[in-house]
Amino acid sequence: MKVGIINVTGYAGVELARLLHQHPQVELASVTGRSAVGQSLSQVFPHLADIKLTIRDRLGDVELAFAAMPHKESAREVIPLFERGVKVVDISADFRLKDASEYQRWYGFSHPAPKLLARAVYGLPELHRAEIASANLVANPGCYPTGAILALAPVVKAGLVEIDIVIDSKSGLSGAGRTLTLPTHYAEANEDVSAYALEGHRHLPEITQELNLLEPSGQQLSVTFVPHLIPMTRGILTTCYATLTGKKGIEAIRKLYRDFYQDEPFVRVAGTPPHTKQTWGSNFCLVYPTIDQRTGKLVVISAIDNLVKGAAGQAVQNMNIMLGLPEATGLESLAVYP
C-alpha cells in the first residue's frame, strides 16, 4: 500500500515520515513540502537519511494520503483527493467539527465543503473505531482534545459528573509548529510558563462536541479550557476537574476507567500520576483518575506525546484501522527515557 504525506516539513509531517518508514505494511512513496521542493528528505532532515525520497510540490500516485497542512489550507488539498477516491487522514482541524458555522467563529474562514463534514469521521479510535474502519476521510483529533477527551470519556459517558468541567492543559512548544513566532523563541519561552487563549481556544469546540455526544442526559456540558505553554519540546499534561453526581468512591472510579479502556492498545490507566516524559516518543495516553477527599472533586490527569498520540501516531493508528491492519502495527515502540 503506497501512502504519501502532504507537507512533510512540519513537525507532524516529519514525525509521520519517521513512523511510516518503520511500518511493515505500507510504503512511504511520496512527500510534499512547499518550502523544500526539489530537496531530498535527508537534506532537510538528516535524521531521516534512510528515506530516499525527494520532496515534491504535488503528491504522487498513492492510495492513502496524510494531510499535515495548516487549517484552511488543508481542506483545499483534501477535497480533490477525496473526490478521486484516495483515502485521507487529515491532521488539520478542517474536518473535525460537524457544524460548518463553527469554522468562521473559531478559525476565521468559511468552510469550502460543508457537506463533506458529515462524511468525515472524527478519528479518536477509542470512541469511533467502527466508523473509522469504513471511512474514506478521517479527521485526526487535535493534541489538546485527545488528552482531555480520553481523560473524561468514562465518567461523562457513565453520567457521573455535573455539566461544569474545568480542563487545564500544559503543552510543549512543538505544539505551536515550526513557524517562527516571538512567544516560542528560546529566550522568550525558556524558564517561563504562560497561559494563553483565555477568551477561548480553538480546540474547545472539538472537546465539547465529542464530550456532548457521550453525555447520556443530552445536557450540553459547560467546559472551561485553559491551555499553557511549558518550556519543553514534547508532551501534554492535562488535569481535569469535575463534580461527581453521586457518592462514588475512588476504587469504583478507577474500576470504571480500567473497564472502559481494558481493550484499548494505547490507553493505560496509571497507578500513579503520570509524567509527560513517560509518553515521550510513544503512542500511549496515560490516564490517572482520583478524588480530592477534602472537596469530593474528581481530578483526572492524562499525559501524551503531542506529536505522536496527539498527531502523527494517532494518524497512523487511524490508517491501520482504515486499511484493516492490526491497530498497533508500526506503533509498538515504548517511550524514550530519560
Residues taking part in catalysis:
143
- 10 Å CB burial of residue 295 (0-12, 13-18, 19+) is exposed
Residue 67 near residue 7, CB atoms below 8 Å: yes
Structural Rg of the chain based on CA atoms: 19
In contact, 88 and 113? CB cutoff 8 Å: no
CA angle, 86 then 90 then 92, to 5°: 155
Q: Alpha carbon 75 to chain centroid distance?
A: 18
Our CA angle for 227, 232, 236, nearest 5°, is 40
What is the C-alpha to C-alpha distance for residues 254 and 273, in angstroms, rounded to an integer? 13
Task: Copy the grid coordinates of residue 17.
Answer: 515520515
Alpha-carbon gap, residue 18 to 7, rounded angstroms: 14
| 3-class DSSP state of 315 | helix
Residue in this structure with the C-alpha cell 499535515, named with its chain if needed: 68
